[in-house]
Structure 1
Amino acid sequence: MSNPSGSKSPYLLLSALLVSEALFVTGYGLQLMLLPIRGGMEGFSAVDLGLLGSSYYLGFVAGCLLTPVLLSRVGHTRTFAALVSITAAVSICYPMLAQPQFWALLRFITGICLAGLYLIIESWINDRATSSTRGTMISIYVALNYIATAVGQMMITLYDASSFMLFSVASIVISSAVVPLALSQSPAPQPPSLVRLRPLHLFKLSPAGTTAIFLTGMAIGALWSLGPVFALSKTGDLASAAQFMSAVVIGGALAQWPLGKLSDHFDRRHVLIGITLAATVASVTVALLPQLSGGWLIFAALFGATVLPSYAVASAHVFDVADRSEYVQVSGGLLLLYGVGSAMGPMLAAVAIQWFGLAALAAFVAVVQLAIVTFVVVRMRLNKLQVVTDKQAFDMTTAAPVVPAGFGAPSSGERFDARADD
């Protein structure tokens, strides 16, 4: 692809976009930490909090389907500005009416906006990247996402969570995200093509990979939606809870690349089984601990390092058996499956919490991880190993649960892996 801006560095062209992304994710990270805690203060039940998480992910799925239509009509920059503005406005509406159904509606709208913003950012990066810069660009993007999320979570200690101030701070930071991109001279990419998504086709293509992604969505959706309240119950104070959740995020960020590279050299299903077994042990341990203290931040990081990277490895496994002509369709389908799982997870975990207490959240994550292990092992027993050519090397594009359409052409290679129908 030719560079539409002449000889300018692609990193320079993307700098404004990445600054905008970092500001947005920082504000949203604060909101992500604040809402479950404030909801608990307002008397929301565990089911109410689970409803908020499920509503967000339902909106996320809707956003994946609606955003390409907006892009085709008004382009990337205007759509980005509109979605940021809507998210900022929604962020300040929560304390106006502390009612679960109202908050669920706001979370649904936020989910639509977040899906659209991720699609815009990732398609923009893809448009500017070349085969020699794509890996570095995506690495920077994913790292910024995790760092900004952790910073936003820690901002909850700035003011009392029962006040209006933290919602105002989140809204201000989110709204400021539109400024760098609006003032940038970087040309916008062409709108993406509309793609037909076929989840059932993906399941036939790779039952193990697609099921693992669906179940991973359930676990991670429950963790993001109810984790702050769980951490607060285990640590005893807001600052420690924020540190715990930030440690989970940082652990996941640090583990993405090495685990992905490990899956390039060994059967990805073996790596996935190892990750999910470790996540099961970590989840059970967290559930059984009566209290978490500062010394357990390392353990929180290990928890994140085992739970969060599963999507990347499972996604890479699906791409291994997909035809190159299907990559865009596969990316969208996997994101849709992840979103549906993430919508179901918070509600199921909330019901478990309602019955057994907050420790049931970690137990729920453990059960889901065991389900992944069981299904993958069964699939491996049903299928003999064979050599797969045109093996896709691990790419940081699969490191986040928002898989960009068309990112990264796989490199060729040869190794033992599953047959094409798994």
Structure 2
Amino acid sequence: MLLAQPNQKPGLFVPVAGLSLFALASGYLMSLIPLSLTYFDLSLDLAPWLASIFYLGLLLGAPCIAPIVSRIGHSKAFILFLNILLCSVVVMVLLPQTSIWLASRLIAGLAVAGIFVVVESWLLMADTQKQRAKRLGLYMTALYGGTAIGQLAVDYLGTTGNLPYLVVIGLLAAASLPALLVKRGQPQSSEQHSIALSDLKTLSKPAIAGCLVSGLLLGPIYGLLPIYVSQDMGFAQQTGQFMALIILGGMIVQPLVSYLSPRIQKSVLMIAFCLVGAAALLLLMQTSLVGLWLGFVLLGACAFALYPIAISLACDHLPSSQIVSATQIMLLSYSVGSVIGPVAASRFDDIEHGLPLYLAASFLMTACYLSAHLLARSKARLPTAKA
């Protein structure tokens, strides 16, 4: 990840406009892929593996992107990674074979890791924490808002035929246009610290666990939940709407997370979101439409809240020279969880309400771990307090 040279004022239009179009395409694609498997005569058993291998690409790409951005610049790197992602989608349409789709999703994960590093580093190049917070809020809004709207395309454009994939390809091509047409405002960058295993010792264990579990949750939500909603719940026509509610919940909760993080101990905050998330999954096991809407919104809010809280916890009390390395390790932790999550969740397929039970178990186990960690730290402080 890269930081700006002093006194640079990188523009916001190019990364935000490009990210918004990318998010529209990504939101549609994440539900389109598992739902279009039968159209391309591919097995539904491929869905968890496609999700996991995508996040494997994200995992492999996370620590390798910064040197590329440093060498060719943000705009060119953004265009490069968008076009790699675009080509991976084209190959999937032209060659609908299991091995080709797996390889394409691996490459797509590498490209998306690049897109995230470029946009995040571009937007976080600000002089003050307040400016960075505003830009991060803009980033999250563009990403989650675009993803939520993209999910709705499932209902309006469908998941069969080549048209849905052509729409995704068109959106990805359009996402490159701001960087191609606007030449001013690109930040000057300097290389920062690389990831070192020794950095793990300085990081909060609950923070690492929070990012890991965020991946364990969001990997199956993105990769398997569309199939669960469409087939197991019987809401094929409303799949996009329910997925959009999840992303909407994730977008709505961000201001609340920003407000509560400085005021409540972050481990306690993560425990609270885990317990609410587990309770929300009970709503997905009943038939009331209002209850289902509320359940999906709360599930999205709780699942998407863990990562930003964990990132903030990881960076507390760290010197600025270690923040870049810390955020990269957090992304790696998230990616590991995202690789494992879809495959682990698929083991619950034979159980009624298997996917919600997996998600609930992940929330509850995390709450138990964080509670045990807090209790252990409290006991460790007792002798000092008595002294």
Query: Scaled by the length of structure 2, what TM-score is found?
Result: 0.90
**Which shifted more, 75-84 or 38-47?**
38-47
Q: 5 Å matches for 1:208-287?
A: 208-286=206-284
Compared with structure 1, are the counterparts of its residues 47 and 199 closer, same or farther at alpha carbon in structure 2 (3 Å cutoff)?
farther
- Could you tell me which of 148, 165, 173 is aligned with 2:171? 173
**Partner residue, 2:180:** 182
Report the Cα offset of residue 314 of structure 1.
2.1
Deviation for aligned residue 1:181: 1.5
The aligned counterpart of 1:364 is: 358
Amino acid at match of 1:372: T
Pairing of 1:235-384 with structure 2 (within 5 A): 235-286=233-284, 288-289=285-286, 291=287, 293=289, 296-353=292-349, 355-356=350-351, 359-384=353-378
Counterpart check, 1:16 vs 2:14: yes
What amino acid maps onto 2:368 in structure 1? T
CA-based RMSD: 2.4
SS in 2 for 1:39: coil
Q: Distance in 2 between matches of 1:168 and 1:294?
A: 34
| Distance in 2 (alpha carbons) for counterparts of 1:17 and 1:51 | 31
CA contact (8 A) 1:240 1:294 kept: no
Q: How far apart in 2 are the matches of 1:372 and 1:200?
A: 25
2:22–2:172 CA contact under 8 A, matched in 1: yes
Shift of 1:295: 5.9
Question: How far does residue 298 in structure 1 lie from its aligned partner after superposition?
Answer: 2.7
State the partner residue of 2:144. 146
The residue that corresponds to 1:105 in the other structure is: 103
Counterpart contact for 1:199–1:334, Cα < 8 Å:
no
CA contact (8 A) 1:206 1:321 kept: no
CA distance in 2, matches of 1:211, 1:4: 35
Q: 1:255 to 1:208 in 2, by over 3 A?
A: same
Structure 1 range deviating more: 308-317 or 88-97: 88-97
Report which stretch shifted further, 129-138 or 144-153. 129-138
Q: CA 1:267/1:148 → structure 2, altered by over 3 Å: closer, same or farther?
A: same
After superposition, what is the alpha-carbon deviation per residue over 1:52-77, rounded to whole angstroms, capped at 9, x for unaligned? Answer: 01111111112212212322332222
Calculate percent identity across the aligned residue pairs: 23
Alignment of 1:400-419 (within 5 A): none
Which consecutive residues of structure 1, in runs of 5 or more, have no partner in the other structure? 388-422
**Segment drifting more, 115-124 vs 320-329:** 320-329
Q: Deviations over 1:399-422 (max 9, x none)?
A: xxxxxxxxxxxxxxxxxxxxxxxx
Where do 5+ consecutive residues of structure 2 fail to align? 382-387
Contact preservation (8 Å) 1:61, 1:336: yes
**Aligned equivalent of 2:74:** 76
Deviates more, 1:253-262 or 1:127-136: 127-136
Q: CA deviation at 1:86?
A: 1.6
CA deviations over 1:204-244 (Å, ceiling 9, x no partner): 63222212221221111111111111121255344411000
How many residues matched?
Answer: 377
Letter in 2 for 1:349: A
Q: Contact between 1:243 and 1:297, CA under 8 Å: does it hold in 2?
A: no
Q: Mean alpha-carbon deviation: is it higher for 141-150 or for 129-138?
A: 129-138
Question: Does structure 2 conserve the Cα–Cα contact (< 8 Å) formed by 1:56 and 1:110?
Answer: yes
Contact persistence 1:203–1:210 (CA under 8 A): no
Residue 35 of structure 1: CA displacement? 0.5
Shift of 1:151: 1.1
Distance in 1 separating the partners of 2:181 and 2:145 = 24
Q: Secondary structure at the match of 1:197?
A: coil
Residues in 1 aligned to 2:242 and 2:145: alpha-carbon distance in whole angstroms: 14
**Superimposed CA distance per residue, residues 70-112 of structure 1 (whole angstroms, 9 cap, x where no aligned partner):** 2233222212111111211222222333333321111111111
Aligned to 1:395: none
Q: CA deviation at 1:351?
A: 2.4
1:323/1:70 CA distance change after superposition, 3 Å: closer
SS of the residue corresponding to residue 158 of structure 1 reads helix
Distance 1:200 1:240, change over 3 A: farther
1:156 equivalent to 2:150? Answer no
Say if 1:4 and 1:238 are closer, same or farther in 2 by CA, change over 3 A.
same
Q: 1:304 to 1:44 in 2, by over 3 A?
A: same
CA contact (8 A) 1:26 1:152 kept: yes
Query: Does the aligned pair in 2 maintain the 1:235–1:292 contact within 8 Å?
Result: no
Distance 1:4 1:194, change over 3 A: closer
Deviation at 1:307, TM superposition (A): 1.8
Q: Distance in 1 between matches of 2:258 and 2:49?
A: 33
Partner amino acid, structure 1, of 2:34: P
TM-score normalised by length of structure 1: 0.83
